Amino acid sequence: MSLTLAQFNNLSQEVAIAQLLICCTSSVWANKIANARPFADFDALLANSDAIWDEVQTNEANLLEAFDGHPQIGNVASLKEKYRNTQDSAAHEQSGANDAADDVLEALAKGNQDYLDKFGFIFIVFATGKSAQQMLDLLLARLPNDRATELANAAAEQNKITRLRLSKLLGNA
């Protein structure tokens, strides 16, 4: 569903919150954004979203609620489906690339489970435009971090995802 900003500003509170929860499943964030309406323009919405997210992310329960809105990338079959048609423009076609891709997907599934086991929440990353190998590299780079660092990293990635979803909701993407 794509809305104009005027339509979004005029939604009932209940419907606005429901639309916002599609962008980010933090109920505190969604309620605060809905209460901050009307917005003069899309940039004002994003600025408010960023400011409210800065407040919301100080509470771990709010973060975990937002993270729970993402599916866990842990199933090799679902990873294969996700990346089946993804092509990195810099990649060179080589024999055995399909086998390498399966290895990457299996490593990504294992890494995601290792991440969940270590931190207690799923690996959150702004995945748009990233290949499976890039995702794996990011996951492996973040896995040695402590939990506080990863909460902050995941919160920053969540905000990028939320901004993209707001853009899509309002037809700006």
**Is 92 marked active-site?**
no
- In whole angstroms, give the CA distance from residue 38 to residue 170: 14
Lowest-pLDDT choice from 71-75, 91-95, 107-111, 119-123: 91-95
- pLDDT tens-digit readout, 150-168: 999 999 999 999 999 999 9
- Asked if omega into 38 is within 30° of 0 (cis), the reply is yes
pLDDT for 78: 57
Higher-confidence residue: 101 or 69? 69
Residue 36 confidence (pLDDT) above 60: yes
Helix (H, G, I), strand (E, B) or coil at 46: helix
- Helices 97-119 and 76-83: crossing angle, nearest 10°? 120
The band of 148, judged by pLDDT with boundaries at 50, 70 and 90, is very high
- In whole angstroms, give the CA distance from residue 104 to residue 158: 24
Over residues 86-96, the mean pLDDT reads: 31
32, 34, 53, 70: the active-site residue: 70
pLDDT for 110: 93
Residue ranges matching CATH 1.10.3330.10 in the chain: 5-66+162-169
Over residues 3-21, the mean pLDDT reads: 96
What Å distances lie between residue 2 and 15, 54, 171, CA to CA? 13, 26, 5
Rg (CA), the chain: 18
CATH of 5-66+162-169, one of 3.30.70.270, 3.30.70.890, 3.40.50.720, 1.10.3330.10: 1.10.3330.10
In residues, how long is the chain? Answer: 173
Do 168 and 19 touch, CB atoms closer than 8 A? no
pTM score, whole prediction: 0.84
